[in-house]
Structure 1
Amino acid sequence: MKTLKEKILKLKKEKNAIILAHYYQEPAIQEIADYVGDSLGLSQEAAKAKAAIILFAGVHFMAETAKILNPNKKVILPDLKAGCSLAESCPPHIFKKFIDAHPNHIVITYVNCSAEIKALSHIVCTSSNAVKIVESVPEKIPIIFAPDKNLGNYINQKTGRKMVLWDGSCVVHEAFSLDKLIALHKKHPEAKIIAHPESETHILATASYIGSTSEMIDYVKTSPYNKFIIATEAGILFKAQQEVPEKVLIPAPSYEDNTCACSECGFMKMNTLQKVYDCLLNESPEIIVPNDIRKKALVPIERMLELSK
């Protein structure tokens, strides 16, 4: 009797499909993926994908980005309900009014947004390249940054810019409890706190290192320290622990008294191995982006990819 993993790998071969998975997916999905990465890495992989079908094990906006970059390929997502609280915090019709209220501003949007929001943007960025992208805009040109105010605040501090920030945030990265984090650090005083820039300013102030998901993994790999408290979605721990089996990785605690006392994205965890199999078998649900929106959204994404080389 073939296991579910074996069935997926067989189907993938038969259908000339590739599985792209985000670090926040459950370990079983990461294990069968052709590529596991953060938003920038996944965008780059999607841009060069040769397969006929891209199965995106992540959330809706990520699969949309893959479709924008690959209009002639079939892009499928295991669960269409796998959304993003940050993307949902920026409705296109209200954001359009926000842009109109700030004429002559360059619009830079974080990749965690819908295709419609990307279509209203000049450049897209990820947490890996956000500072670089912002610094590529001449200082005299004012910038609107959306949808993540925490990442925007962090970039303003790093660059000295005064970008106009949209008031959006990610529920996962705003779930970390400072009191619990300080208490945890007292238990492990030798541990280095590392954080994702989507976290709130008071959490970032405690961190020895701030970086994107992939940058955090690289930091843990190359750092001389052996113990880390990690303030981002707990899914990162699977890949990071594989890279550094000898090091101790502790998830930062959230306000909720949940079973792992860490912060997990419910949307990311909606995808399961069974859903991946069903999705590949039925080649559905399929991601469709209207052509007019796709063409407009492609421009800022391609600018980002060019600036990220």
Structure 2
Amino acid sequence: MNMEQLRSFVEVVRHGQIFRAAEELHISQPALSRQMAALEAEVGAPLLARHSRGVHMTKAGEALHDEAVELLNRMQSVVDEIRSGEHLIVSINIGVPPGLPSAWLRERLSTRGENFRVSLIEAPTDEQLIMLKQKKLDIALARRQSEAFPTHLVYQQRLGIVIREESALHETLRHRESATLEDMEGLRVLAHSRGEVRVQEEILKNAMLSAGVAATWIFRKFGQYSALIADLVEADVALTTKTSAGKNFPGWVWIPLVGEDAAGDDLVVRTWATWNPQPSPEVTTLLRRFTEPLLMPPETVAPTTPLSAAKTPPDTTSPAASEGDATTT
């Protein structure tokens, strides 16, 4: 049995007549009849029943026809892929946490002229690192630094508070360029739930304790109904980045938060590019776009960690970590 026989069989079924199928295939009617006879002999069962107006499939023919069509379609897809060069395209999977600016990602993920394509998978850090270990991701953009993989700080975003324009707090802050931890004294503060952006709880609660600021913390998952959730829990402010504020709190006012955490670092959300050791050349090419300095959006806080300081596990080489500098959200 060969592809030519299967193709001929499918055409005979489609036309319902041997002579019309022969015309379509540009072969003689006797030659096509011999092909069908040879195919039936190989299968060991009649595939076509002849009648006065042509032919129709037997039960065996119906079973073979469905498989033949699927096989021919798959083969045509392979041929088309080879002709287009699609088989040479490498797929790269990148994990993305909620809240990264699209413009920042788009600047680094263009595949024009490259031999790879990028797929984005939105997931929190814990899930990303599991997928990275399972080799389901090539690069994880994680909210914390990994101890198990090569990693490099690639992006930082200032944390801020969102408040309603009609609130008394907005009246207090509207002439100021930023808010401080002390401004949240006694307030009900809404933040991402523990499973979403855990860094907000860890950094900010410790920072406020260190500064002697008392506030009531409410943790919820941010999304489409964040503003409604804030109303229902009677939150005075919500803590988030500027990008997430625009997405989750439309109509609210975002004000950057200035201060230091308990370790003396700026109040920012950091993102690290994290990857498996010995990445492919295509992944290395893409990593360089994250680890070399590019134009950063206004909300970015430029990182100070030199690329040469990118952390890698012992005895691990990291091609991307020898190229340049980078930042995180």
**Smaller-chain TM-score range?**
0.3 to 0.5
Structure 2 length-normalised TM: 0.31
Q: Which has the higher contact order (CA 8 A, sep 6+)?
A: 1
